[in-house]
Amino acid sequence: MTIREFKMPDVGEGLTEAEILKWYVKAGDTVEDGQIVCEVETAKAAVELPIPFDGTVHELCFPEGTTVDVGQVIISVNVGGGAAPEAPAAPVAEAAPAPAAPTPVVDEEEDEPQVRQPVLVGYGVAVSSTKRRPRKAAPGAVQAAPAAPAAPVQAAPVAVSVPEQLNGHAPAGARPLAKPPVRKLAKDLGVDLATVTPTGPDGVITREDVHAAAAPASAPAAPAPAPVAAPAPVVAPAAVVPDARETRVPVKGVRKATAAAMVGSAFTAPHVTEFVTFDITRTMKLVDELRSGTDMAGLRVNPLLLIAKAVLVAVRRNPEINAAWDEAAQEIVLKHYVNLGIAAATPRGLLVPNIKDAHAQTLPELSASLSELVSTAREGKTTPAAMQGGTITITNVGVFGVDTGTPLLNPGESAILAVGSIKLQPWVHKGKVKPRQVTTLALSFDHRLIDGELGSKFLADVAAILEQPKRLITWA
């Protein structure tokens, strides 16, 4: 029997962890190369992970709902064809008599050198950083260095017997065992890893160990009945009480990433918001005509489609609005393409995927792209790549009956347009007060890139096109 291990990959750019949402296989199931085995949620999106080899599932290393660091083994597969043992193998660091023929364990990343950029500033990722420690052979045994003479990697730590590591802190001179995200957490909390007692497998320091070490020592040091340290009392009750006055919900995944991005956007880019209220009746009539025509048969036609097209035409008339601020180089980057972002509310939180090169799409192509983008987002299948590289965004708050708002910029973009609800209101039309379809647009923009004149011209152009949709032709 030959066991291969599949580790949590870095499914986004520099992400350090992911939560296992659902397993599609169980121990004993046969899997094939490319088969989806689980769904995970990162800070950006939900992603399905395929297994890269054939075999029989030996063990699922983590249950659903567990947040796993990038590089940790999440599933092991028997690829040798032999019968799997009835009970899982003993932990690697457990002392045991040397077997006559130990089971070979093949790391799915050992076939070729692991080339991955550091995922946290200040913490490199060594090739051997996620490998299991060697089996205990003799006290003081030193782990063999990698044989490949490739780029220099971090030296492997000296193997320490598990009882010695677990009975207290790491011995003097030894580097405490912890993964980069845990080291970052310890640094943020001001915890010296050399003073932390590890409880993880093979003497690895876990997040819980760091939190326990950072907990305020307000109570007298009494002998604890168990080594498991609970978080601070304010985190959450042990059980959900139906009549409780408060409920605490962990912030993670998409919502955590959104919160961090919005805080960064609000306090980095100087926001300015302008508003315009206008008569959109002619555009609503055009929507009805397109729905009943044959040119758009089978495609989804709604006001958002024509609003998106109006934004693209307005960008062409005001190209300077489609830009980005490069803080490092102190340059304004003018973009000659439009990756049009569409803010989508999903069960997992707010996502902003974008339509690549939307400026080059015809109206039917734009309709198909919008439909695919929205349906994919609602199903939670949006990929991290689909949410990167956006240049300008539309958020439709009108679907919730809201007149307008002051939207925050999507990080890295220059402007965002909020579309309010379209309502029948009294309006002066051709000198008479008549009921007309009226809406309000709100444009927030980065004042480092866009001054009041440019922002006003762009917003006025969008409104003018929607007021007289024939301008989609004459201005394009």
**211 in catalytic set:** no
Q: What is the CATH number of domain 255-474?
A: 3.30.559.10
Contact 298, 283 (CB under 8 A): no
Whether the predicted pLDDT of 319 surpasses 90: yes
Please say whether the beta carbons of 380 and 46 come within 8 A: yes
Pair type for strands 344-346 and 340-342: unpaired
Whether 420 and 403 have beta carbons less than 8 Å apart is answered as: yes
Sign of CA dihedral 317, 399, 443, 374: negative
- What value does the mean pLDDT take over residues 14-26? 84
Q: CA–CA distance from 144 to each of 14, 71, 158 (Å)?
A: 29, 20, 10
Least confident of 35-49, 71-85, 252-266: 252-266
The answer to whether the CB of 1 falls within 8 A of the CB of 106 is no
- Answer whether 167's CB lies under 8 Å from 132's CB: no
Query: Mean pLDDT across the stretch 136-146?
Result: 44
- Rounded to an integer, the average pLDDT of 138-164 is 41
Shared fold status for 158-216 and 255-474: no
The angle formed by the CA atoms of residues 407, 412 and 417, to the nearest 5 degrees, is: 30
Q: Is the pLDDT of residue 304 over 90?
A: yes
Which of 211, 336, 359, 447 does the annotation list as catalytic?
Answer: 447
Q: Which amino acid is at 472?
A: L
pLDDT at 387: 85
**Tokens 């444009």 belong to residue:** 443
| Mean per-residue pLDDT, 212-223 | 52
Q: How far is residue 456's CA from residue 458's CA, in Å, rounded to a whole number?
A: 5
Distances (CA, A) of 9 to 46, 79, 292, 443: 13, 20, 48, 38
Token reading at 284:
């609503």
CATH of 1-113, one of 2.130.10.10, 3.10.110.10, 2.40.50.100, 3.30.565.10: 2.40.50.100
d(CA 32, CA 10) in angstroms, rounded, equals: 21
Rounded Cα–Cα distance for residues 313 and 282 (Å)? 17
Among the CATH numbers 2.40.340.10, 2.40.70.10, 1.20.120.140, 4.10.320.10, which is that of 158-216?
Answer: 4.10.320.10
Q: Per-residue pLDDT for 204 more than 60?
A: yes
Instruction: List the single range of 13-22, 71-80, 216-225, 409-418 with lowest mean pLDDT.
Output: 216-225
| Predicted local distance difference test score (pLDDT) of residue 455 | 95
Higher pLDDT among residues 259 and 108, named by residue: 259
Q: Regarding predicted confidence, which is higher, 339 or 9?
A: 339
Q: State both tokens at 282.
A: 């002619």
Percentage above 90 pLDDT, the chain: 39
- As a whole number, the mean pLDDT across the chain is 76
Tens of pLDDT, residue by residue over 370-392, are 999 988 888 878 887 888 899 99
β-sheet with 55-60: strand ranges across: 30-31, 55-60, 73-78, 3-7, 105-107
Q: What is the pLDDT of residue 345?
A: 82
With 70 as the cut, is the pLDDT of residue 422 above it?
Answer: yes
Tell me the helices (H) and strands (E) count for the chain, helix number first: 9, 20
The alpha-helical segments, DSSP class H, found in 206-302 are: 207-214, 253-266, 281-292
Listed by start position, the domains of the chain span: 1-113, 158-216, 255-474
Given a cut of 70, is residue 130 above it in pLDDT?
A: no
* Cβ 32 vs Cβ 138: under 8 Å: no
**Is the Cβ–Cβ distance between 65 and 20 less than 8 Å?**
yes
CA distance 28 to 20: 19
The pLDDT of residue 200 is 80
Which tokens in the block code for residue 85?
A: 């043992």
pLDDT band at 40 (very low <50, low <70, confident <90, very high): confident
3-state secondary structure of 15: coil
**Dihedral sign of CA atoms 306, 312, 316, 322 in order:** positive
Q: Higher confidence at residue 162 or residue 433? A: 433
Do β-strands 415-419 and 392-396 pair in parallel, antiparallel, or remain unpaired? parallel
- Quote the longest CA-to-CA distance of the chain: 98
Q: What phi and psi, each to the nearest 5 degrees, are found at residue 115? A: -120, 100
pLDDT of residue 215: 66
**pLDDT given for residue 378 in this prediction:** 82
